[in-house]
């Protein structure tokens, strides 16, 4: 009689990877560089939030549109609206990340905003990390 035994083989771990935006070739292989796991998700979060709505062809609602807030009067209401936009944009376009906290610092002396996010990267072993970047006017 043949018995089915439980296999000791572990499932393959899920690895996230994306092309780096530097487009610098790997010196060993000549291939375009890849960002993996945490770096990949962080890069995606910054890309989504830095994109203005209407900027991507065929995806007019894509992006966080945060540059639109650069010349607004920055108060607690603006901060709350921006936090909601960030959370909703990432819920919609980045399923690998869950926003835990949002901190927005007004850098009006240089017409910029410093965005600091605490996110949980959703994977078999969740990782909590910080994504920080500056939104400023494109010249």
**Quick one: pLDDT at residue 8?**
44
Residue-wise pLDDT for 10-55, tens only, equals 444 556 666 665 556 767 777 765 666 688 889 999 999 999 998 9
Q: Backbone phi, then psi, for 129, in 5-degree steps?
A: -145, 170
User: Does 61 have pLDDT greater than 50?
Assistant: yes
Which domains are seen in the chain, by residue range? 39-136 (3.10.450.40)
- 60 three-class SS: coil
pLDDT given for residue 90 in this prediction: 96
d(CA 39, CA 51) in angstroms, rounded, equals 18
**pLDDT confidence band for 3 (50 / 70 / 90):** very low
**Residue 12: predicted pLDDT:** 42
**Which residue carries 């939030």 as its tokens?**
49
SS3 131: strand
Position 139 scores a pLDDT of 67
In whole angstroms, what is the distance from residue 12 CA to residue 24 CA?
29
pLDDT tens digits, 68-125: 999 889 999 999 999 999 999 999 999 999 999 999 999 988 889 999 999 999 887 8
pLDDT of residue 122: 87
**For residues 89, 95, 96 and 99, what is the CA-based torsion angle, rounded to 10 degrees?**
40
Residue 60 has pLDDT above 70, yes or no: yes
Residue 4: per-residue pLDDT: 44
Reply yes or no on whether the pLDDT at 127 is more than 70. Answer: yes
């Amino acid at each position: 009689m043949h018995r089915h035994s439980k296999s000791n083989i572990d499932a393959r771990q899920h690895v996230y990877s994306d092309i780096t935006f530097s487009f610098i070739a790997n010196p060993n292989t000549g291939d375009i560089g890849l960002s993996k796991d945490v770096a990949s998700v962080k890069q995606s979060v910054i890309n989504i939030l830095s994109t203005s709505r209407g900027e991507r062809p065929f995806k007019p609602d894509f992006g966080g549109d945060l540059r639109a807030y650069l010349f607004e009067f920055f108060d607690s209401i603006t901060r709350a609206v921006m936090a909601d936009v960030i959370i909703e944009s990432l819920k919609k376009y980045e399923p690998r990340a869950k926003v835990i906290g949002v901190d927005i610092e007004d850098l009006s002396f240089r017409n910029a905003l410093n965005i600091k996010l605490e996110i949980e990267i959703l994977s078999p072993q969740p990782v909590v990390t910080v994504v920080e970047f500056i939104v400023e006017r494109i010249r």
